[in-house]
Amino acid sequence: MIRLFLLLLCALYFSTFAIAETEKRLVLVTSVNSNISQLSTKELKRIYIGLSLKQNNQKIKPIRNHSDSFAHEVFLQNVIIMSSRIYERQLTTRALRKGSKRPDSESSHAKLVAHLNRETNSISYMWEHKALSDDSIRVIQPLWAASQ
């Protein structure tokens, strides 16, 4: 009986862990009032290194999410495919050589959401559970999942 109880307890523990793993998803977000649709990984990389991209005759403005350092690192390493150090170096080099403007960044979730709603042609990234808990922002597409 004790073995059965321990076996069930282990099964419950690991199934809970597996559920939690699949729920950790990074998503691309924008304002609910935005017309921005899905973007390819190549387009995202171009936007976040300072190159311009228009969709529906609007220049898309990226916002870096510094409110969650883990989400930021996951975004850089798995979507932009750069370390934080190399990414910052590339932004600085592009700014010095071509006069490109660095993407805006926000250090709190509330400021990030306010910025997305103030500039409806802007995009950012955050964990899916945070995006779904706010009615003023819309998920454009998933970017990364912990189970990958």
Alpha-helical segments (H) within 59-132 = 69-75, 84-98, 109-118, 128-132
| Cα–Cα distance for residue pair 125/103, rounded to 1 Å | 13
pLDDT of residue 139: 98
The 3-state DSSP composition of the chain as helix, strand, coil percent (nearest 5) reads 50, 25, 30
Token duo for residue 64: 């870096």
| Cα–Cα distance for residue pair 121/44, rounded to 1 Å | 14
Domain boundaries, the chain: 25-145
Q: Are 48 and 88 in contact (CB under 8 A)?
A: no
Token duo for residue 107: 């250090």
pLDDT of residue 3: 52
Residues 6+ apart with CB under 8 A from 25: 127, 128, 142, 143, 144, 145, 146
| Cα–Cα distance for residue pair 53/48, rounded to 1 Å | 10
Q: Are 74 and 28 in contact (CB under 8 A)?
A: no
Mean pLDDT by 10 residues, the chain (148 residues): 50 50 84 97 96 94 98 98 97 92 96 98 98 98 88
CATH number of 25-145: 3.40.190.10
Token duo for residue 47: 């936007």
pLDDT of residue 11: 53
Identify which of 52, 63, 57 has the alpha carbon closest to the alpha carbon of residue 118: 63
